[in-house]
Structure 1
Amino acid sequence: MDIPRTGQAQKRRMKRTAIGVGIGAAVLLVTFGLARLEPAAPPVKKETVWIEAVQRGPMLRAVRGPGTLVPEDVRSISAPVEGTIERIPALPGARVEPDTVLLEMSDPEVMQNAFQAESQLRAAEADYANLRARLESEFLSQQSQVATIESQAEQANLQVEAEERLFKDELIPELTLKLSRLRADQLTKQAQIETERLGKIHSSQQAQLSAQQAQVNQMRALYGLRQRQVDSLKVRAGIPGVLQELPMVVGQRVTPGTTLARVARPEKLKAELRIPETLAKDVAVGLQAQIDTRNGVVAGRVTRVAPSAQDGTVIVDVAMEGPLPKGARPNLSVDGTIEIERLDNVLFVGRPTYGQPNQKIELFKVVKEGEEAVRVPVQLGRSSFNTIEIVSGLDVGDRVILSDTSAQDGYDRIRLE
């Protein structure tokens, strides 16, 4: 007969419970350990990234931009009158002098106006000549009248003197003497009146002649204007230089103000740079610059900064301070570097792809002898077109990745292969 063993079932249950607790604890430990592990660092090939070391020393702040050489002295020639282009004797690229005819125009109305102005001038001159002759005749007639009256007055005065002597000798009556004196006084006063009239006639005639002369001058000025309009039908260069543009064709009708041509002095060129608007805030007149013409570098100085931006750039004019290399000509493409300031004893590095001045960014710093790179915060300072100041976060000799690392934004560490 079997004897039942007490407590065996309870022991088995306790054993199974202990095993379950152990397995659960092991799972928790494994899970916790896995959670503590860092994600695997993604590999990046060294030849695909731009790595540069942080330096300390002088740093040149500069901005850079492309541009073209343009003439400093450019004359735009506009049509002074309406006309039809009849002939174009000059072509772009030709050397011209001030009196070189660039194109010839015609306009019947301009010619008719000149003819009418000439006729009006001739008529005004004839009227002036006739008026002057008539007034001279009137003046001479009045002069003759004055001379006659003065002569009569003189004779009357002599008659009075003679009769006074005869009256003293009682040879003539007193009445005769009084009548002679009265006549002499009348003639003397009449002579004075006629003399005054002669002066007023002279003043009046001068006023009439001046008015007629003003009419002549007006007609002469109008004729000169009409004649200049006729002369302007032959469009001339106006300055010595090279004909840059002449976009006209024979038979084309142009109105006053239409730009006909551009003439420039090719020996005097300046650089017209296009500086990005984000970099142009520190550019000012007087700053030094270097202009690369692809055939040499020329020193220059900023002479003008455009007051507004266009298409994301600011136009900056740079005057040359040295001779231009051979081959320099208008519209030649150039690169310009404008020096903003020189900083002494600063930490700096090449400019990161997305690094802006005075911003805090994160860069990958190379560690473990170039095998890995870890993300570190970096405070940036002042910048140039190819370098930027390091305010904090890096030291001299630290090597950082400056190229685009946006593909590794989710990682704090990368492996360099």
Structure 2
Amino acid sequence: MDIVRTPKKSYRKQILIGSAVAGVVIVTAALTRLDPAVPTVERAAVLLDTVKQGDIVREVRGPGTLVPEHIRWITAQASARVERLHTESGRNVGSSELLLELSNPDLQIQTMQAEQQARQAEIDLINLRTNLRSAILTQEGTVASTRTQLVSSSQEARAADSLVRLGLVPPFEATNRKTAAEEFTTRYRVEQERLALMQSAIDSQIAVQASRVVQLRAIAENQQARLRSLQVRAPEEGVLQELTLQLGQWVPEGTTLAKVVQPGKLKAVLRIPESQAKDVQIGQKATVDTRNGIVPGHVIRKDPSAQGGSVIIDVALDGPLPAGAVPDLSIDGTIVIDRLTNVLYAGRPASSAGTGNTSVFRVDADGKTAVRVPVVLGRSSVNSIEILNGLAVGDRIILSDLSSVSTAEKIRIR
């Protein structure tokens, strides 16, 4: 007969499961206590600098071009067609040298019409003066004749009055002669007033016509000048530039035909970033790098407004130009703004926007890690910036742009 045997209870499986769970808990707790992973940067990919104390020169720098100090533009004073070219760009030209010839038949007709109108106005002025003088003379004769009649009628009136008292002349005849004398008195006064009026008006009438003559003569002279401008001549001695016209080409009035420059009188026109240009002042010293030499200069003009994020600064060149310095040559300019004495400074970090609070990575003594520290920056130059707080002499900082680890407080340098 079979005997039922009860198996012995085993605790080995429960022990193994409990050990596994405890291990997971311990590992999880250990992992939660670990610091976040520290970002790593390559040492060759970052630029380091050491904080120093001393004197620095504040400078701003910008690209630019060489531009002639004196440019004489030649523009078309009338619409015309190019008929003949006598020279080309790049040549030295003398004052009044013929450069090109233009033509415009309509302008010739307009000039002839203007001349004819001016001459007709002059003839009208002569005729007006003659007619007015003739009218004055006629009126003076009328005044003289009226005066004679007045004198005669006055004498007859007095004689008739005497004869009436003697009974030799009837009273009505004396009255008639007296009335005639009064009439000629009035006529004489009227004719004198008419003469005075004509004499006072003669000057104004002549002045009106004379002003018309002046106006038409000025128009005719302007038309003559426009006609002469079709013979385009150099306004002064220099080098001819930008003469790109072709034979038969039609150029509207006001079109730039060419320009004459003085190649030995150049200035530098720099484009300084607007964030740095605020400290630039007239008279500050500057240097211009022409890629073939350094030329000293000084600031002579500053644009009152910014264009495209830059401010235009004109620099006069104080030294001789190196060989190859020609108009429109690309250059680099540096302007000395200020000199700082005995200040704490370092290279300018790429992440710095200028003066104020920011943060930089300071390299530890072992050179293998860097920690982000807050700093206060002061006045800046092209390659250096003043440090007001946060760093000490001898500290090494990273100048390169580390925006990829902007949230990290510590990095590893490999």
Bin for the TM-score computed over the shorter chain: 0.7 to 0.9
Match of 1:320 in 2: 316
Distance in 1 separating the partners of 2:283 and 2:361: 33
Residue 227 (structure 1) aligned to one of 224, 234, 252: 224
Shift of 1:209: 3.3
Structure 1: runs of 5 or more not aligned? 1-12
- 1:354 paired with 2:351, answer yes
Residue 337 (structure 1) aligned to one of 323, 334, 337: 334
2:347 is aligned with what amino acid?
Answer: G
Distance in 1 separating the partners of 2:209 and 2:99: 41
Distance in 1 separating the partners of 2:135 and 2:365: 117
Q: How does 1:227-306 map to 2 (within 5 A)?
A: 227-238=224-235, 241-280=238-277, 282-286=278-282, 288-294=284-290, 295-301=293-299, 303-305=301-303
**Number of residues paired by the alignment?**
391
Shift of 1:292: 1.7
- 1:365 paired with 2:374, answer no
Contact 1:291 1:334 in 2 (8 A): no
Are the structure 2 counterparts of residues 306 and 87 from structure 1 closer, same or farther at C-alpha, using a change threshold of 3 Å?
Answer: farther
1:360 is aligned with what amino acid?
Answer: T
Residue 85 (structure 1) aligned to one of 79, 82, 85: 82
Contact 2:60 2:382 in 1 (8 A): yes
- After superposition, the C-alpha distances for 1:245-275 in whole angstroms (9 at most, x for unaligned) are 2232221111123222233344543321122
Secondary structure of the structure 2 residue equivalent to 1:105: strand
Secondary structure of the structure 2 residue equivalent to 1:344: strand
Contact 2:100 2:232 in 1 (8 A): yes
Shift of 1:41: 10
Contact 1:270 1:317 in 2 (8 A): no
- After superposition, the C-alpha distances for 1:101-142 in whole angstroms (9 at most, x for unaligned) are 443211111111111111222222223323332333232222
- 1:69 paired with 2:66, answer yes
Contact 1:117 1:226 in 2 (8 A): yes
Among the aligned pairs, what percent are the same residue? 33
Secondary structure of the structure 2 residue equivalent to 1:192: helix
Residue 308 (structure 1) aligned to one of 294, 306, 312: 306
Contact 1:241 1:266 in 2 (8 A): yes
Are the structure 2 counterparts of residues 316 and 37 from structure 1 closer, same or farther at C-alpha, using a change threshold of 3 Å?
Answer: closer
Are the structure 2 counterparts of residues 277 and 197 from structure 1 closer, same or farther at C-alpha, using a change threshold of 3 Å?
Answer: closer
Shift of 1:45: 6.0
Distance in 2 separating the partners of 1:309 and 1:130: 63
Distance in 1 separating the partners of 2:142 and 2:39: 128
Distance in 2 separating the partners of 1:178 and 1:201: 36
Distance in 2 separating the partners of 1:69 and 1:43: 43
Contact 1:284 1:305 in 2 (8 A): no
Contact 1:271 1:291 in 2 (8 A): no
Distance in 1 separating the partners of 2:312 and 2:402: 34
Distance in 2 separating the partners of 1:40 and 1:290: 46
Greater CA deviation, 68-77 or 79-88?
68-77
Q: How does 1:30-179 map to 2 (within 5 A)?
A: 50-96=47-93, 99-154=96-151, 173=168, 178=174
Shift of 1:175: 6.2
1:53 is aligned with what amino acid?
Answer: T
- After superposition, the C-alpha distances for 1:22-42 in whole angstroms (9 at most, x for unaligned) are xx99xx79x969x87998997
Are the structure 2 counterparts of residues 404 and 237 from structure 1 closer, same or farther at C-alpha, using a change threshold of 3 Å?
Answer: same
TM-score scaled by structure 1?
A: 0.74
Are the structure 2 counterparts of residues 261 and 301 from structure 1 closer, same or farther at C-alpha, using a change threshold of 3 Å?
Answer: same
Superposed CA RMSD in Å reads 4.5
Are the structure 2 counterparts of residues 108 and 195 from structure 1 closer, same or farther at C-alpha, using a change threshold of 3 Å?
Answer: same
Residue 194 (structure 2) aligned to one of 193, 197, 203: 197
Match of 1:398 in 2: 395
Match of 2:4 in 1: none
Are the structure 2 counterparts of residues 92 and 175 from structure 1 closer, same or farther at C-alpha, using a change threshold of 3 Å?
Answer: farther
1:315 is aligned with what amino acid?
Answer: V
1:82 is aligned with what amino acid?
Answer: S
Distance in 2 separating the partners of 1:41 and 1:214: 89
Are the structure 2 counterparts of residues 193 and 346 from structure 1 closer, same or farther at C-alpha, using a change threshold of 3 Å?
Answer: same
Secondary structure of the structure 2 residue equivalent to 1:367: coil
Contact 1:365 1:374 in 2 (8 A): yes
Are the structure 2 counterparts of residues 38 and 285 from structure 1 closer, same or farther at C-alpha, using a change threshold of 3 Å?
Answer: closer
2:299 is aligned with what amino acid?
Answer: R
- After superposition, the C-alpha distances for 1:131-188 in whole angstroms (9 at most, x for unaligned) are 3323332322222233333345456667789x69x97xx8x94669958974665555
Shift of 1:320: 1.8
Contact 2:270 2:315 in 1 (8 A): no
Are the structure 2 counterparts of residues 51 and 147 from structure 1 closer, same or farther at C-alpha, using a change threshold of 3 Å?
Answer: same
Distance in 1 separating the partners of 2:352 and 2:63: 21
Shift of 1:329: 3.8
Are the structure 2 counterparts of residues 334 and 366 from structure 1 closer, same or farther at C-alpha, using a change threshold of 3 Å?
Answer: farther
Structure 2: runs of 5 or more not aligned? 1-10
Distance in 2 separating the partners of 1:87 and 1:317: 40
Distance in 1 separating the partners of 2:271 and 2:386: 24
Secondary structure of the structure 1 residue equivalent to 2:125: helix
Are the structure 2 counterparts of residues 135 and 277 from structure 1 closer, same or farther at C-alpha, using a change threshold of 3 Å?
Answer: closer
Are the structure 2 counterparts of residues 373 and 249 from structure 1 closer, same or farther at C-alpha, using a change threshold of 3 Å?
Answer: same
Contact 1:266 1:329 in 2 (8 A): yes
